Amino acid sequence: MIRFVKNFLSIAFAAIISTCVYGQKFDSLALTPQMGWNSWNKFACDINEDLIKSIADAMVSSGLKDAGYIYVNLDDCWHGKRDSLGFITADPVRFPHGIKALADYIHKKGLKIGIYSDAGRKTCAGRPGSLGHEYQDALTYAKWNIDYLKYDWCYTKDVNPRCAYPLMRDALYSAGRPILFSMCEWGSDKPWEWAADVGNSWRTTGDISCVFDAADNKGNYKRLGVVQIINKNAALRKFAGPGHWNDPDMLEVGNGMPINEDRAHFTMWCMMAAPLILGNDIRSMNEATREIIENKSVIAIDQDKLGIQGLRFEIKDSVQVWLKPLENGNWAFCLLNTGKRDKTFDIFWQKYNLEDNVSGLSTSFYKEIYSITNLWNGKNCGTTAKKCTVIVPAHDVVLYRLVPLKKNDCF
């Protein structure tokens, strides 16, 4: 009898999980990782209508829009109270003209607008969450012409993420407006294993901190450095692809790390086919920051249409070797130095013959010769026909694009 009850409960639980997970989301969203800006990393709760409008203006005037950044995303703290029928409203002081008017302003700039909510009773900052109001909120976002929803995971005691996230997905679909669905469950319930049909991206780790290689303890929770997040995200490449991406959190480029660390951070997010969501004050960024986040050759690695997350091939001392298959037989080849000293590194190309079981592609260095272009300085570095020796600076990267030579190409 006990065994029967256990079996029954197992079957019932599996049926519940199946019912929760399988549904419908909008097609043709995030076929490459989403690109945009989010308010949290720099401004936290200190946001208002004028700030968001000025960010939208800067997205256009700075060249970020032309580089591919199209989403302007409000994070936590835009919320007012729910009205007498339970519909969410905007904070009347911070957003006196409402979110719809702000969306209209952003759309006129040729950009898209994102908003934030939470699967729990409250948002992480204590504003009204969406629990019990999923369909109301989805209808409201559609009415406001929202394009993107970041959906967080605070105040969720006794809430099952495998049901909560599909519920909001279904609510968004029912509302009828295609809205990119960015799941922010921090990887606690391994969403990469079940959420490909639920969200367009899912967080794989806890929150990022503006440090390169250290944990940042914040009382009751710990924020992670860039290297710690890379190490957590590296093993999940088989779960990523067009329309469903591993999300190692938003970018901290321009928020205080040295320029070499910013460059390494940005490069590795591109190698991992991660969403590129800026978190700095783009209105006042310096030229060095601009050159990183607007490097179209590096962005192209992230936005490659194959949609394959890069592979960490090996770790040698403090240097990580990464390969990423690209369209047209191209490859990205990256050396990341997580150490505090520069490293001289010999690249024996034959060592990196790879039969990639995720993409089904091969580097074939034993029969193919590739031209080598350094994507951070634009220089041609010869071909893979012979060994290459490079210096990888501390907390920095060397990033190449490898393009197969035709039989009549000469170098």
Neighbours of 255 (CB within 10 A): 17
Q: How many degrees, rounded to 5, is the angle at CA 252 between CA 234 and CA 262?
A: 80
207 is catalytic: yes
**Contact at 8 Å (CB) between 129 and 121?**
yes
Tokens of 104: 């209209």
The catalytic residue among 75, 137, 147, 207 is: 207
Helix (H) or strand (E) holding 174: helix 161-175
CA–CA distance, 160 with 172 (Å, rounded to integer)? 19
The catalytic residue among 152, 247, 281, 302 is: 152
DSSP 352: G
3-state secondary structure of 201: strand
**Contact at 8 Å (CB) between 275 and 182?**
yes
Nearest Cα to 290, choosing from 61, 109, 51, 62? Answer: 62
Strand-by-strand arrangement of the 396-404 sheet: 311-316, 319-325, 331-337, 396-404, 370-374, 380-383
302 is catalytic: no
CA–CA distance, 314 with 201 (Å, rounded to integer)? 26
Beta bridge partners of 398: 335
CA–CA distance, 88 with 141 (Å, rounded to integer)? 10
Residues serving a catalytic function are 152, 207
